[in-house]
């Protein structure tokens, strides 16, 4: 099983419009430093599952390989906007799994097109697919109902946890028991930022220290975090790194 990060940025993305900070200027001149809206994909048994749908070029990538299903963390625009175009496509229905919510995004639920929205996922209840993929949804702290996804591959366990500010008590308890080998965690805000709907880097590092995975990646990153890293002012433990768009992980 392979896991790929298709985007690692926050809603402003990197470069941020109108910003002339070193991180944004670097991203403009060197595309490998750009950060698209946060999302990921899972490749298993020849199938491709997408976690979230925020990238504006998502429809084009789906032309190359139609997704087996979507696993939505939540329905903010930077995670769901590409579904608005994709729904009017042709061909077999595409299942969409996600948190239990009545709002969705705009009129997606009322006019789903080829999208086949499933009943809301039950926290901590295993979701099993015919090709062998199995995921456990876990609740997260955000301004809309939001879930992370835990999955076990051939050799490692991976927890994908964005968007969140700290972890709910029951999710923290589950993860401590489940013991993920790899944690991919929201770290949107720089140290000292005001509390919000996302982790600061110190909050994310405290969670990672508590869970003690062998490998951790910080995602949903802002240009402010990138700028600190460029300046050498973002010390991280040896097992924790900033994620980047296109990162592949074997699980």
Instruction: Encode pLDDT of 11-22 as tens digits.
Output: 999 999 999 999
Cα 150 from Cα 7, distance rounded (Å): 18
Against a cut of 0.95, is the pTM above it? yes
Q: What is the dihedral of CA 222, 228, 233, 237, to 10 degrees?
A: 30
Domain residues for the domain of 180 are 2-250
H helix or E strand, kind and range, residue 177: helix 169-178
CA distances from 61 to 31, 74, 82, 99 (A): 18, 21, 11, 24
CATH of the domain at 194: 3.60.15.10
Please state, in angstroms and rounded to a whole number, the distance separating the CA atoms of residues 54 and 220.
12
**Number of domains within the chain:** 1
The confidence band for 208, taking pLDDT boundaries of 50, 70 and 90, is very high
State mean pLDDT over 193-198. Answer: 91
Does residue 195 register a pLDDT over 90?
no
Three-state secondary structure call for residue 246 = coil
């Amino acid at each position: 099983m392979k896991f790929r990060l298709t985007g690692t940025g926050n809603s402003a993305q990197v470069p941020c419009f109108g910003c002339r900070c070193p991180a944004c200027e670097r991203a403009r001149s060197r595309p490998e430093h750009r950060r698209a809206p946060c999302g990921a994909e899972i490749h298993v048994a020849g199938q491709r599952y997408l976690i979230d749908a925020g990238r504006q070029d998502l429809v084009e990538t789906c032309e190359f390989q139609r997704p087996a299903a979507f696993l939505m963390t939540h329905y903010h625009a930077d995670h769901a906007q590409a579904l608005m175009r994709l729904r009017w496509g042709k061909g077999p229905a595409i299942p969409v799994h996600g948190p239990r919510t009545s709002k969705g995004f705009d009129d997606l639920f009322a006019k789903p097109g080829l999208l086949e929205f499933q009943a809301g996922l039950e926290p901590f209840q295993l979701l099993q697919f015919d090709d062998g993929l199995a995921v456990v949804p876990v609740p997260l702290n955000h301004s809309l109902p939001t879930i992370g996804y835990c999955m076990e591959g051939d050799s490692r366990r991976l927890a994908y946890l964005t968007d969140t500010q700290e972890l709910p008590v029951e999710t923290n308890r589950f993860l401590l028991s489940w013991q993920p080998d790899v944690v991919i965690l929201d770290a949107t805000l720089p140290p000292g930022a005001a509390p919000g709907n996302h982790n600061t880097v110190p909050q994310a590092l405290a969670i990672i220290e508590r869970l003690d995975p062998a490998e951790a990646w910080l995602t949903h990153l802002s240009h402010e975090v990138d700028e600190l890293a460029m300046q050498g002012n973002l010390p991280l433990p040896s097992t924790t790194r900033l994620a980047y768009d296109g990162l592949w992980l074997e699980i």
